[in-house]
Each structure stands twice: as C-alpha cells, then as structure tokens.
Amino acid sequence: MIPAAFEYHRPKDMAGVLAVLVEHGDEARVLAGGHSLIPMMKLRMADVPHLIDLQDVDGLSGITVDGGRIRIGAMTTQSDIIGHAALAEAAPIMREASLQIADPQVRYMGTVGGNVANGDPGNDMPGLMQCLDATFILVGPDGEREVQARDFYEAAYMTDREDDEVLVAVAFDAPSGGYAYEKQKRKIGDYATAAAAVLLVKDGDTCSSASIAMTNLSDTPVWSEAAGDALVGTSVDAAAIDAAVAAMLGDIDPTQDNRGPIEFKRHAAAMILRRAIARAWDRA
C-alpha cells in the first residue's frame, strides 16, 4: 500500500497548475481532497508521476447564492456544503445528498470538484448535478469553457474534461418545488447500491416539471428524461409512478458485483426511486 514515487507540485495560482499540466500531459493529475486519488495510487491502480496539489490556489473554494443562481467552487468540501445555511435554504437537496456520502471524516476532505471530475459511477454528486441540470466550469490553457453535467460523463472514469483542464466550479439554478435524495447502501460509509435524486414541481394537483437521476446503476450517472416525462401532467398517482420506474429501469444498465446481482440492483433501483418520488411529491 505504498504508492510509486511521484513529484509533488504545490502551485500558488491557476497559471502554475496549468503550466505543470501542459508540461507533463497525462503524467500529471491534480489533487483535491485525495480521498479517491491517493487510495488508487497506493493500490497502484493509478500511476501519477506528477501530483499537483490545488490547496494553495485561491478562488477554488466557497459557495455563493446570488439571485437564484448557485455557484460552488471545486475545492468546497462536502462538509462545507452541509454547514452552509444559505445553500440549505436555496437547494436543500445538496445537504440531504451530502449527508449520505461516506462518513464525517471523508466529508471533511472530499470536494465537489473531485467528486464530479473523478467519473466514478459510485460517486453521488454526478447524478445529483445532472438532476439539477448543473453547468461545470473548466479552465485550461485556452481559457474557460462550460459543459452541462448531462453531457460530461462518457464512461466509467472517462469524462469530457481534457487532461490539461481543471474543473473550477459547478453552477446551477436554485431548484423550486419538492426534492428528495434517497440512497440504498450496504452499511454506513458505503457507496450506493442505488441512489436517486428527484426534483418535482407541483402546479395545483398536477406535476408540472420533473427531473430524475440515479447513481451506480450504469457506468455513468443516469438522468432519465423518460422517467421525468412519465410524471409530468399527472397527479403522481400509482400508475404514473409505475411508468416513471419502468422508464428508469429501461435506461439503467447495472452489472453484477459485490453489491449484488443485476436483478437485485434493479429491484433496489425501483424501490429507491419510488421512495424518492413519494418524498419529493410530499414536499412539493
């Protein structure tokens, strides 16, 4: 459990980070909270000759809630999210989901940027970001660009981010209506067997808008437009929920692993999604 030798870089600004990334290409990786990358290096599953620590770079941490638009810096920790009163008011699903990630020790170190940039299908934030229709802000040698969370994930650990780009922030509109983040896991501190992020807007007795994403049920997060569409225009009755669950089951593609066989995962996905829809609708 000792990583291979690497050179440790600790630049003071983004220009310094980008200079190392440009010089070393895919031999260099940025380090945020280190709670995914360092274990991978120790297991020799990641070979990183040049490690670039982001902690001295100004402007990468912090949460702003401004006129209904929320921006969260990449180095903001899950613990920061849980403790931020204005964010809890504007987007309570962020706090609800963050409280279900790992345990307090991991949440003190794990960052939003690391969680979404890693591309690990087990991470909770990517699906949540897709549910919120978030924008990812990336900086590279050619300047800044934005990518929608729904377009960012290509395969397990494969994203739209170039090797010489750094994710600096995520941004999204404060959601209205009801919300729920539900997660099935084997034990406290575990990654999801299945997790669901649901946002529902109610107009009278009818659902006027729905966004639904699930985690760890494919090699990327799954935002299912069809599952949301199955609820819109209904009173979110049993038939509509059945249709939404069926649509989501058509979009996920779980594999067998130490969290269970495929049929169990599909069962867990359906159960978690039903719970999340019911709770979001109660709160809408």
In the complex with ligand FAD, which residue's Cβ is closer, 189 or 233? 189
- Smallest CA-to-CA distance from 127 within 13, 221, 204 is with 221
Q: Figure out which of the listed residues 20, 61, 76, 110 binds ligand FAD, where binding follows CB under 6 A.
A: 110
Stretch that binds ligand FAD, among 80-88, 102-110, 221-229, 237-245 (CB under 6 A): 102-110
Shortest spacing between CB 199 and ligand FAD, in angstroms: 19
Shortest spacing between CB 191 and ligand FAD, in angstroms: 4
Q: Figure out which of the listed residues 17, 18, 30, 94 binds ligand FAD, where binding follows CB under 6 A.
A: 30
Give yes or no for residue 31 binding ligand FAD (CB under 6 A).
Answer: yes
Residues numbered 173-232 forming contacts with ligand FAD, rule: CB under 6 A:
189, 191
In the complex with ligand FAD, which residue's Cβ is closer, 57 or 200? 57
**Contact between residue 213 and residue 130 where contact means Cβ atoms under 8 Å apart:** yes
Q: What are phi and psi of 221, to 5 degrees?
A: -65, 155
Shortest spacing between CB 163 and ligand FAD, in angstroms: 10
Residues numbered 49-78 forming contacts with ligand FAD, rule: CB under 6 A:
74
Which helix H or strand E contains 195, and what residues bound it?
A: strand 192-203
In the complex with ligand FAD, which residue's Cβ is closer, 50 or 150? 50
**Contact between residue 237 and residue 230 where contact means Cβ atoms under 8 Å apart:** no
In the complex with ligand FAD, which residue's Cβ is closer, 59 or 250? 59
**Contact between residue 166 and residue 136 where contact means Cβ atoms under 8 Å apart:** no
Give yes or no for residue 159 binding ligand FAD (CB under 6 A).
Answer: no
Shortest spacing between CB 200 and ligand FAD, in angstroms: 23
**Contact between residue 160 and residue 151 where contact means Cβ atoms under 8 Å apart:** yes
Shortest spacing between CB 123 and ligand FAD, in angstroms: 4
Which helix H or strand E contains 269, and what residues bound it?
A: helix 262-283
Q: What are phi and psi of 257, to 5 degrees?
A: -155, -160
In the complex with ligand FAD, which residue's Cβ is closer, 123 or 224? 123
SS (H, E, C) 208-238: EEEEEEEECCCCCCEECHHHHHHHCCCCCCH
How many Å apart are CA 211 and CA 225, to the nearest integer? 7
- Smallest CA-to-CA distance from 114 within 82, 151, 161 is with 161
Give yes or no for residue 115 binding ligand FAD (CB under 6 A).
Answer: yes
If you search the block for the tokens 């940039």, which residue do you land on? 117
Stretch that binds ligand FAD, among 109-117, 206-214, 220-228, 252-260 (CB under 6 A): 109-117
**Contact between residue 184 and residue 272 where contact means Cβ atoms under 8 Å apart:** yes
In the complex with ligand FAD, which residue's Cβ is closer, 69 or 186? 186
Give yes or no for residue 169 binding ligand FAD (CB under 6 A).
Answer: no
For 116, the 3-state DSSP assignment is helix
* CB-CB neighbours of 34 under 10 Å: 17
Total residues at the site for ligand FAD (CB under 6 A)?
28
Q: What is the token pair recorded at 168?
A: 């600096």
Give yes or no for residue 79 binding ligand FAD (CB under 6 A).
Answer: no
Residues near ligand FAD, by CB under 6 A? 29-37, 74, 101-102, 106, 109-111, 113-115, 117-118, 123-125, 166-167, 189, 191
